[in-house]
A and B are shown apart, each in its own frame.
Chain A
Amino acid sequence: DTGVSQDPRHKITKRGQNVTFRCDPISEHNRLYWYRQTLGQGPEFLTYFQNEAQLEKSRLLSDRFSAERPKGSFSTLEIQRTEQGDSAMYLCASSPDLLNADTQYFGPGTRLTVL
């Protein structure tokens, strides 16, 4: 079990540029989540995938944000025309597909800094 991995770990970009992050979940986990964490706050839910289907998106996910999970394995999160307010830690988590509540396991995160 290699755990959830994320790439890159750090990204510095200029305002207006596009960025893309990748998440590789634990291999047998069907559910994949993206969260965002800003300084001094807890993580906030952005979106969730069941296999390749994106089933829910938070109001936090503006139209500049898009996420995909094309083959139900890894996922990408793209931010277009980045703004300074996008600076945050972007966290990916995965969990097995169980009927009852289950534990989510997080990756190390991608720290985005928008200059």
Chain B
Amino acid sequence: DQQVKQNSPSLSVQEGRISILNCDYTNSMFDYFLWYKKYPAEGPTFLISISSIKDKNEDGRFTVFLNKSAKHLSLHIVPSQPGDSAVYFCAASESGAAGNKLTFGGGTRVLVKP
């Protein structure tokens, strides 16, 4: 039972263009969503988060959009840079459940071409 899904295993984008990563979830109790970036042999690095009371959150080049009715969120990276090449994980948590443990998607590998 995969509660968080990232249906695109990989994404290739030209430097300077927009990267759009998608994530779907099935558990309606999730109320906090996060995106992490991971380089090989390193732990996930927090990028941006959004609470279910919002539908958009921006931080520099990163914007996360949440569509609760569709149980869908997306991460936009504009403009994409070669250093953005990594695996991106979407994660979700339910407030109060196991200390807000995170449920992760399977990841999307992003390659930004110079």
Residue of A nearest to B4 (CB): A42
B83 at the binding interface (Cβ < 8 Å): no
Tell me whether B101 and A101 are in contact (CB under 8 A). Answer: no
Q: Which residue of B lies closest to A91 (CB)?
A: B43
- Of A41, A55, A104, A109, the contact of B102 (CB 8 Å cutoff): A104
Q: Does B103 contact A (CB under 8 A)?
A: yes
CB pair B34–A103 under 8 Å, yes or no, is: yes
- Interface stretch, picked from A12-20, A43-51, A62-70, A76-84, is A43-51
A42's partner among B42, B89, B100 (CB-CB below 8 A) is: B89
Tell whether, in the assembled complex, residue B41 and residue A33 are in contact, meaning their CB atoms are under 8 Å apart: no
Mark B residues whose CB is within 8 Å of A. Answer: 4, 31-32, 34, 36, 41-46, 49, 51, 89, 91, 93, 95, 98-107
Q: How far is the CB of B1 from chain A (nearest CB, A)?
A: 12
Task: Establish whether residues B99 and A43, one from each chain, have CB atoms under 8 Å apart when the complex forms.
Answer: no
Instruction: For the complex formed, measure the closest distance between the CB of B105 and the CB atoms of chain A, giving whole angstroms.
Output: 5
A binding-site residues for B, Cβ under 8 Å: 4, 6, 31, 33, 35, 40-45, 48, 50, 55-56, 91, 93, 95, 100-109, 111
Q: Which of B34, B98, B106 interacts with A55 by CB under 8 Å?
A: B98
A-B CB pair tally, cutoff 8 Å: 74
CB neighbours (8 Å) of B100 from chain A are: 31, 95, 101-102, 104
Interface pair A42/B107, CB less than 8 Å apart:
yes
Apart from A4-B43, A104-B34, A108-B42, list 11 A-B contacts with CB within 8 A: A31-B99, A35-B102, A42-B4, A42-B89, A42-B91, A44-B104, A101-B95, A101-B100, A102-B100, A108-B43, A109-B43
Contacts of B98 in A (CB 8 A): 45, 48, 55-56
Cβ of A91 and Cβ of B44 under 8 Å apart? yes
Residues of B near A42 (CB, < 8 A) are 4, 89, 91, 104-107
Interface centre among A45, A56, A107 (most CB of B within 10 A): A45
Query: B4 — which chain A residues lie within 8 A by C-beta?
Result: 42
For B91, the chain A residues whose CB sits under 8 A away are: 42
Determine the chain B residues whose CB is within 8 A of the CB of A106 once the complex forms.
36, 43-46
B89 contacts A43, C-beta separation under 8 Å: yes
